[in-house]
Amino acid sequence: MYSYYVENTAVSFEYEAPTADEFVMRIKRTTEKYPYLVCVDDGKVVGYAYAGAYSTRQAYDWTATTSIYVDKEYRRKGIGTLLYNELEKRLKEQGIVNLLAGVASCEDEDEYLTHDSSKFHLSKGYTQVAHMKAVGKKFNRWYDLLWYQKRL
Ligand SMILES: CC(C)(COP(=O)(O)OP(=O)(O)OC[C@H]1O[C@@H](n2cnc3c(N)ncnc32)[C@H](O)[C@@H]1OP(=O)(O)O)[C@@H](O)C(=O)NCCC(=O)NCCS
């Protein structure tokens, strides 16, 4: 699921899809402190969402980053909403008050990047708080990074 986005889009700034073992390591590391949620439909993983530390400095302990991926064939069916609602609920329960999502962006959509993630985050009550210009280069093009924030 994730490798599609790594290999064909600028949604993720990784160039190479992680191996299954590496992916497992990432999940393990995440779940030491944060939720990692998976949406399964009839035995098939159709989406996942997780949180992470924005920074390990202690004053940031009430702030978490959020990430989400929905299978390309299952988008716009409410799965992202389902995952983010549950993630938020659990983060709230553990005392997190600030959510931050870093979203790859470009002024005009191109064959590698749409504005879907921005639209999704705005619809979930996030607001754009930062715009970093041309910080990621992928497929020989420069992409911006927008930060969206939501106060719980
Ligand atoms: C962004 C993403 C997670 C959204 O998940 P989803 O399951 O498709 O989202 P939902 O169906 O819950 O949509 C919720 C709302 O978000 C907005 N939205 C989501 N996708 C949209 C799109 N393509 N165009 C316009 N609005 C969109 C709409 O307001 C939508 O509500 P509506 O369908 O009632 O109009 C999904 O498109 C995805 O995985 N994209 C690729 C990976 C990615 O960009 N991840 C985020 C990295 S920061």
- Domains, in order of start, for the chain: 2-151 (3.40.630.30)
Q: Answer yes or no: is the C-beta of 81 below 6 A from any ligand 1 atom.
A: yes
Q: What is the pTM of this model?
A: 0.97
Strand 127-138 to 141-151 pairing:
antiparallel
Q: What is the overall mean pLDDT for the chain?
A: 98
**Cβ neighbours for 2, distance < 8 A, ≥ 6 positions apart:** 12, 17, 18, 23, 69
CB-CB contact of 82 with 39 (8 Å)? yes
From CA 128, how far away is CA 84, in angstroms rounded?
A: 17
Q: In the Cβ-directed half-sphere of 89, how many Cα atoms lie within 13 Å?
A: 7
The pLDDT of 74-100, averaged and rounded, is 98
The pLDDT of 19-43, averaged and rounded, is 98
**Residue 6 confidence (pLDDT):** 98
Written as one string, the DSSP assignment of 6-65 is: HHH-SSS--SSPPPHHHHHHHHHHHHTTS-EEEEEETTEEEEEEEEEES-SSGGGTTEEE
The pLDDT of 100-118, averaged and rounded, is 97
- And the tokens for 43? 């035995």
Nearest residue to 8 (alpha-carbon basis) of 83, 134, 110: 110
**Longest distance between any two alpha carbons in the chain, whole Å:** 42
From CA 92, how far away is CA 62, in angstroms rounded?
A: 10
Q: Whose CA is nearest to atom 44 of ligand 1?
A: 117
Q: Answer yes or no: is the C-beta of 118 below 6 A from any ligand 1 atom.
A: no
Separation of 102 CA from ligand 1 center, angstroms? 15
Q: Answer yes or no: is the C-beta of 120 below 6 A from any ligand 1 atom.
A: yes
Q: Answer yes or no: is the C-beta of 49 below 6 A from any ligand 1 atom.
A: no
Q: Answer yes or no: is the C-beta of 10 below 6 A from any ligand 1 atom.
A: no
Separation of 41 CA from ligand 1 center, angstroms? 18
Q: Answer yes or no: is the C-beta of 75 below 6 A from any ligand 1 atom.
A: yes
**Residue 43 confidence (pLDDT):** 96
Separation of 57 CA from ligand 1 center, angstroms? 31
For residue 104, which atom of ligand 1 is closest to its CA? 48
For residue 101, which atom of ligand 1 is closest to its CA? 48
